[in-house]
Homo-oligomer: A and B are copies of this chain.
Amino acid sequence: MKKEIPLLNTITTASNQDLEKYEQKFKALADQQRLQIINILAVKESVCVCDLTPIIDMPQSKLSYHLKILLEADLIKKEKQGTWNYYSLNVSELKGILSDQLCCVFLPSSC
């Protein structure tokens, strides 16, 4: 849904840009499998897709799909090294979204 929300600027404080941006980030977070991927990346630092597939029991195309959603929301980063793509958390972005309490749950190293 790319629809623009009607402006309520006289009442609200969040801009349409805010709404759109955080909708995307919360959508990316709104899935158990993706939360689990985030949690794995938090513990293992940097992981390639081929290492992730056996850890989280999931076909490769499905994993790529979920990684892409996290990537597009800027919650994770990707670095290409030859044949491999290494994924890692975008910690500063996540810390800008999640409470300290939640960071402790999903990014335990940051506690």
> What is the interface of chain A mostly: helix, strand, loop, or mixed?
helix
A1 contact set on B, CB distance < 8 A: 32
A105 interface residue (CB < 8 Å to B) = yes
Assembly of this chain: how many copies? 2
CB nearest to A103 among chain B residues: B99
A81 interface residue (CB < 8 Å to B) = no
Total count of chain A residues near the partner, CB < 8 A: 41
17 A-B residue pairings within 8 Å (CB atoms)? A1-B32, A3-B32, A8-B55, A11-B43, A12-B39, A12-B40, A12-B43, A13-B106, A14-B106, A22-B35, A26-B27, A26-B31, A29-B30, A97-B98, A97-B99, A97-B101, A97-B102
